[in-house]
């Protein structure tokens, strides 16, 4: 399997938005950390005294590592093995277009498909069945992920959304958006 995704600029931007989002929220909310990787978002929730956290990753090494840290963690390709609903779903997905020069084993952490948004759209379609009433999604993606397409598809699914924050990097911008149903 591939290496566990380690925190970088994208993880820290999502962490900052997550911390701000959780301020003043009721502690019993249910949280799904999709694509947990190293567990930075789950640890942030735990540090803020949230306990109802489920970690999900496609990488068995990430799942094992999170279980060793005491998190409830399951191996799943997106929502394949998830049958519950959540108040908050956090996702820092692979969000780049396929680059044939990148080694295949690292593409699982970075590549969202040929165009850079396929996994994100698949996630949004599946996530709608896993949000409690009033639930929210915090989702990170890149200017290379074709944000216009992501937002058009999200509208078709029925989501409303707000941009929370972004960080300009030298060859792209990364964004965190909140998605929800009216």
pLDDT in tens, the chain (182 residues): 568 878 889 999 999 999 999 998 989 999 999 999 999 999 999 999 999 999 999 999 999 999 999 999 999 999 999 999 999 999 998 766 666 666 666 556 665 566 778 889 999 999 999 999 999 999 999 998 999 999 999 999 999 999 999 999 888 999 999 999 98
pLDDT of residue 8: 87
CA 141 – CA 175 distance, rounded (Å): 5
Task: Report which of 164, 77, 86 is spatially closest to residue 123, judged by C-alpha positions.
Answer: 77
Structure tokens at 38: 């190293």
pLDDT of residue 41: 98
CA 54 – CA 162 distance, rounded (Å): 24
In the chain, the percentage of residues whose pLDDT exceeds 70 is: 88
Does the domain formed by 9-21+28-180 have CATH 3.30.1490.120?
A: no
pLDDT of residue 106: 58
Phi, psi dihedral angles at 87 (to 5 degrees): -85, -30
pLDDT of residue 152: 98
CB of 128 closer than 8 Å to CB of 158: yes
In terms of C-beta density within 10 A (0-12 exposed, 13-18 middle, 19 or more buried), how is residue 51 classed?
exposed
pTM of the model: 0.92
Task: Report which of 69, 51, 49 is spatially closest to residue 61, judged by C-alpha positions.
Answer: 69
Structure tokens at 116: 């850079």
Which residues face 142 on adjacent strands?
174
Which CA distances in Å does 174 have to 15, 64, 87, 125? 13, 29, 24, 21
DSSP of 21-37, one letter per residue? HHTT--TT--EEEET-T
pLDDT of residue 6: 82
pLDDT in tens, 125-163: 999 999 999 999 999 999 989 999 999 999 999 999 999
């Amino acid at each position: 399997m591939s290496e566990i995704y380690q925190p970088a600029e994208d993880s820290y931007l999502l962490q900052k938005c997550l911390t701000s989002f959780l301020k003043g929220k009721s502690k019993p909310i249910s949280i799904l950390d999709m694509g947990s990787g190293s567990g930075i978002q789950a640890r942030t929730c735990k540090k803020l005294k949230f306990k109802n956290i489920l970690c999900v990753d496609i990488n068995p090494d990430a799942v094992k590592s999170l279980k060793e840290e005491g998190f409830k963690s399951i191996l799943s390709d997106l929502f394949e093995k998830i049958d519950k609903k959540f108040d908050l779903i956090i996702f820092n997905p692979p969000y780049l277009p396929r680059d044939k020069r990148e080694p295949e084993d690292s593409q699982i952490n970075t590549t969202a498909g040929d165009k850079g948004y396929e996994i994100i759209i698949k996630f949004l379609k599946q996530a709608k069945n896993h949000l409690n009433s009033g639930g929210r999604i915090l989702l990170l993606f890149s200017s290379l992920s074709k944000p216009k397409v992501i937002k058009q598809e999200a509208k078709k699914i029925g989501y409303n959304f707000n941009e929370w924050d972004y960080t300009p990097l030298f060859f792209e911008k990364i964004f965190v958006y909140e998605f929800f149903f009216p």
